[in-house]
Amino acid sequence: MEGVPPDSLKQEPVDLADFINLFDFEQMAKGKMTEMAYEYVASGAADELTVRWNRQALDAIKLNPTVLTDVSQLDTRISLFGQKLAHPILIAPTAYHKLMHPEGELATARGAGLASALYVVSSFTTTPLAEIAQVATQPLWFQVYVRDDREFTRNQIQEAEAQGCQALCITVDTPVPGVRNREQRGNFRLPAGVTIPHMGGPIVEKKPFTWNDIAWIQSFAKTPVLLKGILNPDDAEKAVQAGVSGIIVSNHSGRNLDTVPATIEALPRIAERVNRRIPVLMDGGIRRGTDVLKAIALGANAVLVGKPICFGLACGGAEGVAKVLQLLTYEFELAMILTGRATIDSIDRSVIWDSFRENKQG
């Protein structure tokens, strides 16, 4: 197959029935991916403290179930910017999917369709948006890095909208890449034949990227604009005042600035400041259905999942992506039932054990 790294074609069929949770996918993917590709996906910045904190903080939150509640009519549906979604679990933007599977982002889009999930396509896609849009059966959003060449960025956004992307996620936490030691040791590079058709090269920007640029994007964007990478409540307030459509609470999966807090720790402060004026989404460390429940209880309208999608893609292509999402959705449904919550709207802070709320307020 022309243009595909040879190592990525050495894939034996995997029985996806053997996978019972998202951690299984990472364990299997380590043996399916090239070492370089695995290190790229799994690694974080510097000492990877924030990577670990993302999980540890979610694990530390205790749930407060309610029993004898009628949960016979479970409803996980949500609405975002007029889009009706089957559940609040989205595919986060992640780069270079042809490093994980020969079909790259086409398989990811097909997997999203099988699992009824919205897919946020990365600017660092290795497949043209037009081809992804042809196979997508669920909504697509597009993630944007603002380049020094602002006209390049304008054209990129307009092409995404022309291809049917229904929202734009502007990454605001990466004026420069972070200190990625594991990635450096792995000598990361794109294999011959793998390209990034919508980026024109790596991020080496020198021109300041400011709130003025957000206003500029909104001046011509025809779709909702979300800011991805908000951790500070003051920035969240500025985003609301700037008129953006939504916020994604994100620490870039711990890949940029190490020792920033876990996203689940930042989420309640931001949700309180935003006070439902615009939707707030969250990514970072989501691996269990209980994680999804906790995020919604603490103010998220939806969550995004990145690394597990990459590992699912490596293990089983479209079906692997779908299995990751289906397992997570199933666990989320069980968590709702077992905590006595039949609808998304019924998931509030009362589902969090009091000691967590008291610690956060103290």
- 94 known ligand binder: yes
Secondary structure (H, E, C), the chain:
CCCCCHHHHCCCCCCHHHCCCHHHHHHHHHHHCCHHHHHHHHCCCCCCHHHHHHHHHHHHCCECCCCCCCCCCCECCEEECCEEECCCEEECCCCCHHHCCCCHHHHHHHHHHHCCCCEEECCCCCCCHHHHHHHCCCCEEEEECCCCCHHHHHHHHHHHHHCCCCCEEEECCCCCCCCCHHHHHCCCCCCCCCCCCCCCCCCCCCCCCCHHHHHHHHHHCCCCEEEEEECCHHHHHHHHHCCCCEEEECCHHHCCCCCCCCHHHHHHHHHHHHCCCCCEEEECCCCCHHHHHHHHHCCCCEEEECHHHHHHHHHHHHHHHHHHHHHHHHHHHHHHHHCCCCEHHHCCHHHECHHHHHHHHC
Distance CA 203, CA 162 (A): 24
- 285 known ligand binder: yes
Burial of 164 (0-12, 13-18, 19+ CB in 10 A): middle
- 97 known ligand binder: no
- 261 known ligand binder: no
> Is 252 designated active site?
yes
- 95 known ligand binder: yes
- 258 known ligand binder: no
| CA distances from residue 90 to 106, 109, 119, 181, 326 in whole angstroms, order as listed | 16, 12, 6, 29, 12
Of 87, 97, 101, 252, which is the active-site residue? 252
Torsion sign over Cα 303, 304, 309, 311: negative
- 145 known ligand binder: yes
| CA distances from residue 126 to 66, 198, 311, 319 in whole angstroms, order as listed | 46, 8, 17, 19
- 286 known ligand binder: yes
- 171 known ligand binder: yes
Whose tokens are 């968590």? That residue is: 335
- 143 known ligand binder: yes
- 346 known ligand binder: no
- 276 known ligand binder: no
- 344 known ligand binder: no
User: Which residue numbers belong to the known binding site?
Assistant: 40, 93-95, 122, 143, 145, 171, 180, 228, 250, 252, 255, 283-287
User: Which residue numbers belong to the known binding site for FMN?
Assistant: 93-95, 122, 143, 171, 228, 250, 283-287
User: Which residue numbers belong to the known binding site for glyoxylate?
Assistant: 40, 145, 180, 252, 255
Q: Give catalytic residue positions.
A: 252
